[in-house]
A and B are shown apart, each in its own frame.
Chain A
Amino acid sequence: MVLHKLKRLFSRLGAGCINKIWRLGAGARLFGLTLISSGESFRRFRLTIREVYFTGVMSLIIILVSAFFVGMVLALQGYHTLQKYGSSEAIGVLVALALVRELGPVVTALLFAGRAGTAITAEIGLMKATEQLSAMEMMAVSPIARVIAPRFWAGVIAMPVLATLFSMVGILGGYLVAVPLIGVDAGAFWSQMQANVDWEYDILNGVFKSLVFGVACTMIALFEGYDAPPTAEGVSRATTRTVVTSSLAVLGLDFILTSFMIAV
């Protein structure tokens, strides 16, 4: 009896592993197909612009408001610790480096996965459930070129823009707390920041990170939608999986990218 249960446990574990690897392969294949058939999303750039509107512009409010608060909290917390060491002028460096290097790209990607990724998954899942994708194929319109690729490129374009805005607005929030509220000298705030934030190593690396996160988040959302079982439950589960997988992928990729960037 025990042996039987153990056997079942192992077989389920193995099935789960095989399923995960199958999904990884299918996702990679969809990624390749998207890249190959993305010519149309540039030739008819209107399609992509429309999706940039839905994924990027519509996410602006949540991104900007959270950036503002993240920056303000960073300044408050940073000041609290820095003043113990008598270096409260370094608050500008702390806020800028934290935002530009890490929090900007990562928090933007997490919010993007929640705000835009779920919408993409639900939309494509529902398109599949209502057989719109099959209808396109019947009309010899490739759903990957017409539906998937424009959304992919829109995500790739929108993410760095959103992350840059996040960093900038966060720094402004930090400035508002540090200078008018706490009373750190404004000149020291900006000059220390400029002396210690490097254009290439900090800012461009942050933008590159957000570009990678954009590819990962959008691709995961698209794949989960494309792969969702065509039922109400299937779409809802796919939406949940989008958030979970994207968040984990972003945090894991962030570690890998950072370890490369710091080593250089």
Chain B
Amino acid sequence: MNDLQLLRDAGPGAAPLSPSARSAARAALLTEIEGAAMRAAPRRKVRIGRTAALRTGVAAATAAAAWAGAVAITGPEAADPAPGGMTLVAVDEITFPLSLDPVPAGMTPSFTGSTGDPEAVAGYTSPDGTGFAIYLSPTELPPADDPNVTDRGTVAVAGAEARWTSGVTPEICTVANVCFEDLPFAELIWERAPGQWIRLSGDGSHGDVAALVAVGESLVDRPQPITLQVGLAPAGWSVVDWHESSGAIGVASDEDPTRAFTVQCMPEAPAGANEMDNGTVEGRVASVTALDPPVTTTVGGQPARMVRAADYMDADQRFWLVAWELPDGTLCSVQTPEDFTRDDVLAIAEGVAYTP
């Protein structure tokens, strides 16, 4: 036996790919395919149509700590449904419960969370992919178990004692595909308030305990809205989760969670960045299997294309897709089940707000 055969026979093994993991990975790929690509990117303030919300006579979203509880669909002010349509109501704003004051300059925020889950993450990323992440948990977090940790201790953060660790990661590449030979990292863990544990992890210029302490002390109890918001949804439907790294928010029926719609807004990629492109409206529509010829419409005053389509793997899965481009090149889309009316789909699209 040689060493290669030994590695194959006695090296670390792998659990088989489970059907659920396979399905989840495939679904993520299909979402990406349907979105015709993605990119994190240029951040100019853009807010699009609230006309639908105004039409229904609903005030814009309420400030709600979405991370800790349901992102409820508010019902009492709902408008009458269009003939054959459903009642659309306003969706509470999705927020992360804390803000940074001052806001870190030159960093792009992104948020991940799901309704009813007390854990949530806010990331702030520099153009080179380094930055820091704020991870919230209702329970005490374990200390870092990282072989690259070289130092540890305690430090005060706004009067609370925090445990810190620091070290250097050799040869690591960031999400921006920038690679470093030695990248400093640091982490703070403390209970900021009763039942509110924070793990603050940083690297690069934030891979330093003092830099993280400064970030930790800039945290304030002020919910901040995430950059993508769903303004309208059918009564009895709720936001399920949000993943800003993929620019998507999922909304599902409370009665039948398998019925869901997705809102996605993908910023345009900077030139040359990973040779990616967030695609075009035509490309987005062309990426699905159309059942009828696509039609031209508008969303937020912008040209849009809408099509009724079927899943290319399962022709029984039929849906509506509407895609439009914001003035800054961000490509947005809404995909709903087929039984939504065309007007419902357009009203939901009009309610989408993207504020990078």
Tell me whether A and B are bound partners. no
